[in-house]
């Protein structure tokens, strides 16, 4: 298995990963991180709204934000980017996010085994005491070979 | 007639269509906007597709009047989504006055080999409320 060490400045790799694909569409950036957690910010964008009238952000981008924060928090916990896939992820939508506000997604990787990582986290729109969403998930480490079937 | 796509669904390029049994099928073609690790669909993009499919399927049954509010979504990822078109279809397991329990599957080649499934609960708000309190797909 190919493990990419995060190196002296772990944010370099994270920023590269966020600058492409679906993360780029959502404009995600790394705002804070620690030994086993991180926080990503998703700026408000009307094109991500679930409804033109209210302008409230759809649930999909919040799910993606927390999914991405989860993977990154596992990377920080490992000190390396081990290839991994999401097994399952549950998000509870506690309240609508304020239209116009950036959403912050935070994930903590609180347990790792040889093959599975467990995460939990939440998203808020300015006040971490009043989260807009709560998240729990599991990820599995995989061999870094092209394959279509997950283990 | 299928409900209008949200700005998010349009940004993602979801396309609503119908199968032989007139069930709503949402399509998502692969491009860089949906990519996660190189060569594969991002799990978040897949979740967005399945949630949108669930909401549109519920709207078809309850009509455009009630506001839908997402309660939660549990995604199970079963196979990697590759650089191909993805299909999604929702089944309303139970429709109550206020809650719809919905199961959604996504597949690429064969609906019998789903790449992901979602268990989604939706609140059906039939009371008229200020727009700021509402959340649509």
Tell me the pLDDT tens digit for each residue of A20-30.
999 999 999 99
**Residue A11 pLDDT:** 83
pTM of the entire predicted model: 0.92
Give the mean pLDDT of A117-129: 97
Query: Which of A44, A46, A47, A50 should we substitute to test contact with B (largest number of B Cβ atoms within 10 Å)?
Result: A50
Are the beta carbons of B69 and A93 separated by less than 8 Å?
Answer: yes
Is the CB of B91 inside 8 Å of chain A's CB atoms? no
Q: Does B32 touch chain A (CB under 8 A)?
A: yes
Query: Is A150 within 8 Å of chain B by CB?
Result: yes
Q: Residue B61: helix, strand or coil by DSSP?
A: helix
pLDDT value of residue A79: 86
pLDDT of residue A15: 87
Q: Of B4, B7, B29, B49, which to mutate for an interface test with A (greatest number of A Cβ within 10 Å)? A: B7
Q: Inform me whether the C-beta atom of residue B78 falls under 8 Å from chain A C-beta atoms.
A: yes
Q: What DSSP line would sit under A44-91, residue for residue?
A: --GGGBS-TTT-PBPHHHHHHHHHHHHHHHHHHHHTEE--EEEEEEEE
d(CA A59, CA A51): 11
**Interface touch A96/B135, C-beta < 8 Å:** yes
Q: What interface predicted TM-score (ipTM) does this complex get?
A: 0.91
Name which of A69, A144, A132, A74 is nearest A106 in CA terms: A69
In terms of DSSP H, where are the helices of B19-110?
43-62
């Amino acid at each position: 298995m190919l493990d990419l060490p995060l190196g002296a400045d772990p944010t370099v790799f994270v920023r590269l990963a966020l600058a492409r694909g679906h993360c780029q569409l959502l404009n995600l950036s790394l705002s804070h991180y620690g030994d086993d957690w991180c926080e990503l910010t998703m700026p408000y964008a009307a094109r991500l709204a679930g409804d033109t009238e209210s302008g409230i952000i759809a649930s999909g981008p919040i799910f993606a934000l927390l999914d991405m924060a989860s993977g990154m928090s596992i990377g920080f916990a490992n000190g390396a980017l081990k290839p991994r896939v999401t097994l399952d992820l549950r998000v509870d939508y506690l309240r609508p996010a304020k239209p116009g506000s950036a959403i912050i997604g935070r994930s903590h990787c609180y347990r790792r085994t040889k093959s599975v990582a467990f995460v939990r986290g939440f998203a808020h729109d300015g006040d971490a005491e009043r989260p807009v969403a709560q998240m729990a998930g599991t990820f599995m480490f995989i061999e870094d070979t092209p394959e279509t079937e997950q283990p | 007639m299928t409900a209008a796509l949200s700005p998010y669904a349009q940004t993602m390029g979801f396309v609503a269509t119908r199968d032989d049994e007139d069930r709503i099928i949402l399509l998502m073609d692969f491009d860089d906007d949906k990519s996660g690790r190189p060569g594969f669909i991002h799990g978040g993009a897949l979740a967005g597709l399945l949630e949108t499919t669930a909401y549109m399927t519920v709207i078809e049954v309850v009509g455009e009047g009630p506001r839908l509010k997402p309660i939660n979504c549990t995604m199970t990822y079963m196979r990697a989504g590759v650089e191909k078109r993805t299909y999604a279809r929702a089944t309303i397991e139970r429709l109550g006055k206020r809650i719809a329990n919905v199961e959604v599957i996504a597949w690429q080649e064969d609906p019998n080999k789903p790449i992901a499934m979602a268990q989604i609960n939706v609140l059906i708000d039939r009371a008229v409320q200020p727009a700021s309190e509402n959340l649509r797909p």
